[in-house]
Structure 1
Amino acid sequence: MPIKIQVASSDPLSTAVDVLVLGVSEGSPSGEGVLAKLQESLGEAVPKQLKRDDFSGKKDQGVEFTTYERVKPARVLVVGLGKGPHSDVDVRLLAAKGARFASTARAQSIAVVVPEGIAGGEQAAAEGLVLGSYRFTRYLTGDRLPKSSLERGTVLVQGKVNKGGRDAVALGQQVGESICIARDLINEPPNELYPEALAKVAVSVGKERGLKVTVLDKAALTKRGMKLILAVGQGSARDPRLIHMVYTPKGKPKAKLVFVGKGLTFDSGGLCIKPAPGMEEMKGDMGGAANVIGLMAAVAAMKPAVEVHGIIGSAENMPDGAAYRPGDIFGSLDGKTVEIINTDAEGRLVLADCLAYARQLKPDFILDNATLTGACMVALGPTVSGFFSNREDLAERVKTATRASGEAMWHMPLVEDLREGLKSEWADLKHTADRWGGAITAALFLREFVGDTPWIHVDVAGPSMAHKAYGIYSKGGTGHGVLTFLRLVDGYAR
């Protein structure tokens, strides 16, 4: 069961919880605020422990105190916030760290003190509590099941609790749970999650959140001429799907925004098969699609004054006798013909048909996100996404959104000289170029299918899955990108 979160304005040290989480700015005097009151109750043990751990409030520092029933919380976790000024990004991180600590300590209840004067602090704290307490336990049985879970969370604020605060916490919980939908999908094993099953999840989320959902099966894809999606999926016993989710606001929308996700529920590499070590992680090659479903769930909760479309191309890339081959040439929904070079570069083919489909909606922008290239991970590491855009003003909006969300993304260039590598002697395009600049040439290929539409491509290959928990992210599927996309939506809505 997900954690249940409430908001309160009670004295932190009089709040009966298993764990109280307190943020401290770097360089702030330890003799002030809740920390000073904790010292009054616990005595010299507090400054001694802070000195022993060399705690100064730097980011990632943390000190735990057992209170021996001298105050209501059984434990107090003091977390460094780093140098100010602070924002809701710091509050979300504080809450997530606290919730992860509480889960490890087998606590059932937690309270987080929201620092004063931070806009959006209540919502961010609720998001952090949900994200930090996340566990994927669906396939654990017997002794492997967790003995306890974090059941109750309290967001502690200064002053009187009002309707705005309660609504913010409720929305924060819904946004956090929406991101956890993406995490669940990424963590699902590929024998359970295949294109048809992914489509069923999208339909279920749509029914719960009041979204319109349309699913195109193999026959519908064939009728529309979406030959690239079909090519990728033709080696699998599981047919591909295109999923189209729509949120429509009340009144006239201020904008129409389209988010596209790559949904390869398993990528063996096809005939250009991947090495066995690490192939099990290819269950997460639908991280972009998972993000779109999570995003659409969150958008339905936010109710922004913009029309939002979520489009997912889902297939399984398998190497049977019907699989597509290097040297094959296929048409596309856009009309361009594409020569296949490497069957392990399948994601851009699926996205190409999805982008052409999205373009027909005449949106204000299209944003695609995908676990697309190892080259992006080589360039930026495993915790940073690369993004590309055909509009500088749109790239600036993305930068603003990433700063507001706290997610790590870096603006990458569309190097025109590398476009030469996509020229084919036998078709309109090759779908891969030389090894060098692989993330860039993948983006240049995708650009061929968006026409004049403002467009962003986000390569989430690194941060979509994590080998260990960090920041607000859990081990396994992370949902990295959803918070940034929400900030983009909110910017257009405002």
Structure 2
Amino acid sequence: MPIKVNLASSDPLSVAVDVVVIGVPEGASTGEGVLARLVAALGESVTHQVKRDDFTGKRDQSIDFATHGALKPGRVLLIGLGSGKVTDVECRLLAAKGARFANGVRAESVAVVVPPGVERAERAAAEGLVLGAYRFTRYFTGDRLPKVELSRGTVIIEGKVGKAARDAVALGQQVGEAICVARDLVNEPPNEVYPEALARVAVDVGKQHGLKVTVLDKAALTKRGMKLIMAVGQGSARDPRLVHMVYAPPGKPKGKLVFVGKGLTFDSGGLCIKPAPGMEEMKGDMGGAANVIALMAAVAAAKPNVEVHGVIGAAENMPDGAAYRPGDIFGSLDGRTVEIINTDAEGRLVLADCLAYARALKPDLIVDNATLTGACVVALGPTVSGFFSNREELAERLRSAAKAAGESMWQLPLIEELRDGLKSDWADIKHTADRWGGAITAALFLREFVGDVPWVHVDIAGPSMANKPYGIFSKGGTGHGVLTFLRLIEGFTG
């Protein structure tokens, strides 16, 4: 069960919890503030520990003290906030780090103190507590099962606890839990999450949150002429699916936005098979689809005055006698023909049909996100998503949304000279070009299917999965991107 978060206004050192988390600005000393109170309660051992650890409240510094019954909290964790302005990003990070620490010391309850005067702080802290407390333990049995569960979280504020703050904490919990849906889906094994199963999860999320959900099966995809999705999935015993989720606000919406997710529930590479080392991580090649399902749950909770559609292309790329081959040529929903060069570049084929489907909805904006290219990871590293756009104003909006959400994203260029690499001698277009600039040529291919609709492509290949926890992100599936997309949507309601 996820952590249950509530709101309180009280002295943090008088709260009966296993761990209380307090942010400390740079320049902290044992002569003032919370450190002085800890010295008074716990003695000079606090001073010695602070001096030994050289703790001054710099960003990323932390120090903890066991109270041994001298204070109501069992432990006090101080985390440095640095010298810059504290925003809701820092509040979310403070809470996530605190919850992760609480998990590590087998705590059942944790409280985080929200720095005063920070806009959206209560919501962000609740999000952080849920995200930091997250663990994927479904397949543990016996001694591997956690003996203690972090089940209670408290956001502590100054002043009176009002309805607005309570609502903000409740929304923060819902948004955090939505992101955990994406994490769960990425962490699930591919024998459990395949195209049909992924579609079922989307349907269940729709029922829980009042969303309209339509699923296109093999027959429907074939009838519509979505030959690229079908090609990618034809080597698998598991048929592809397209999922269309819709959030419609009451009254007249201020726009229509479509978010598209790549849902390769397992990518073996097909006939261009991947090397065995690391192939097990290809269960996470549906991170974009997982993000879209999570985003739609978060949107339903936030209730923005904008119509939001989630479109997911789900397939399994397997080597089989029926698998598609290099040199094959397929039509597409868009109508143009595509020559296959590398069957391990399957994601852009699935997205191409999904983007054409999204374009037909006549939206104001299309955003796709996908674990698309290793080239993007080479360029930006494993913690940063690359993004491309056919509108500079839109790129700036996404950049601002990512900064406000605290997620690392960096714009890459759509270099027109590289478009020549997609020219085919036998079809309208090839789906891959030379290896150089691979993330760019993938984006250029996708651009062919969006027409003149404002569009952003986000390559989340690096941060969709993490090999260790960092920031607000967990090991395994992270849900990186959901907070940015939600901020982007909320920006359209103003």
TM-score (norm. length: structure 1): 0.99
CA contact 1:232–1:324 (8 Å) conserved in 2: yes
Once the two structures are TM-superposed, the CA of residue 241 in structure 1 deviates from its matched residue by 0.2
| Match of residue 479 from structure 1 | 479
The aligned amino acid for 1:110 is V
The aligned amino acid for 1:417 is E
Whole-angstrom distance in 2 between the partners of 1:294 and 1:468: 22
Whole-angstrom distance in 1 between the partners of 2:309 and 2:50: 50
Once the two structures are TM-superposed, the CA of residue 30 in structure 1 deviates from its matched residue by 4.4
- 1:251 and 2:248 equivalent? no
- CA deviation digits over 1:1-47, x for unaligned, max 9? 11011000011011000001011112244433333322221122222
CA contact 1:12–1:34 (8 Å) conserved in 2: no
Whole-angstrom distance in 2 between the partners of 1:329 and 1:262: 21
The aligned amino acid for 1:311 is V
1:174-193 to 2 correspondence within 5 Å? 174-193=174-193
When structure 1 is superposed on structure 2, of 21-30 and 331-340 the one drifting more is 21-30
1:426-445 to 2 correspondence within 5 Å? 426-445=426-445
| Match of residue 417 from structure 2 | 417
- 1:2 and 2:2 equivalent? yes
1:5-404 to 2 correspondence within 5 Å? 5-404=5-404
Whole-angstrom distance in 1 between the partners of 2:283 and 2:137: 17
CA contact 1:65–1:76 (8 Å) conserved in 2: yes
Once the two structures are TM-superposed, the CA of residue 231 in structure 1 deviates from its matched residue by 0.3
CA contact 1:424–1:430 (8 Å) conserved in 2: yes
The runs of at least 4 consecutive aligned structure 1 residues that moved more than 6 Å come to none
- The unaligned stretches of length 5 or more in structure 2 are none
For residues 85 and 448 of structure 1, do their structure 2 counterparts lie closer, same or farther at Cα, with a shift above 3 Å needed? same
Whole-angstrom distance in 2 between the partners of 1:100 and 1:331: 49
Whole-angstrom distance in 2 between the partners of 1:37 and 1:249: 49
- CA deviation digits over 1:51-88, x for unaligned, max 9? 11011111221101011111100100111112221100
Whole-angstrom distance in 2 between the partners of 1:276 and 1:4: 41
- CA deviation digits over 1:106-126, x for unaligned, max 9? 000000000111111111110
CA contact 2:29–2:35 (8 Å) conserved in 1: no
- The unaligned stretches of length 5 or more in structure 1 are none
The aligned amino acid for 1:258 is V
Whole-angstrom distance in 2 between the partners of 1:361 and 1:43: 66
CA contact 1:385–1:463 (8 Å) conserved in 2: yes
- SS of the residue corresponding to residue 493 of structure 1 reads coil
Whole-angstrom distance in 2 between the partners of 1:209 and 1:39: 49
The aligned amino acid for 1:486 is L
When structure 1 is superposed on structure 2, of 11-20 and 22-31 the one drifting more is 22-31
Whole-angstrom distance in 2 between the partners of 1:157 and 1:99: 17
**What is the total number of aligned residue pairs between the two structures?**
494
CA contact 2:19–2:109 (8 Å) conserved in 1: yes
Once the two structures are TM-superposed, the CA of residue 50 in structure 1 deviates from its matched residue by 1.1
The aligned amino acid for 2:228 is L
Tell me how large the CA RMSD over aligned residues is.
0.7
- SS of the residue corresponding to residue 419 of structure 2 reads helix
When structure 1 is superposed on structure 2, of 250-259 and 49-58 the one drifting more is 49-58
The aligned amino acid for 1:61 is Q
CA contact 2:29–2:56 (8 Å) conserved in 1: no
The aligned amino acid for 1:209 is H
- SS of the residue corresponding to residue 311 of structure 1 reads strand
Whole-angstrom distance in 2 between the partners of 1:437 and 1:481: 23
Whole-angstrom distance in 1 between the partners of 2:39 and 2:256: 54
The aligned amino acid for 2:308 is V
- What fraction of aligned residue pairs are identical, expressed as a percent? 78
- CA deviation digits over 1:207-251, x for unaligned, max 9? 000000000000000010000000000000000000000000011
The aligned amino acid for 2:290 is A
TM-score (norm. length: structure 2): 0.99
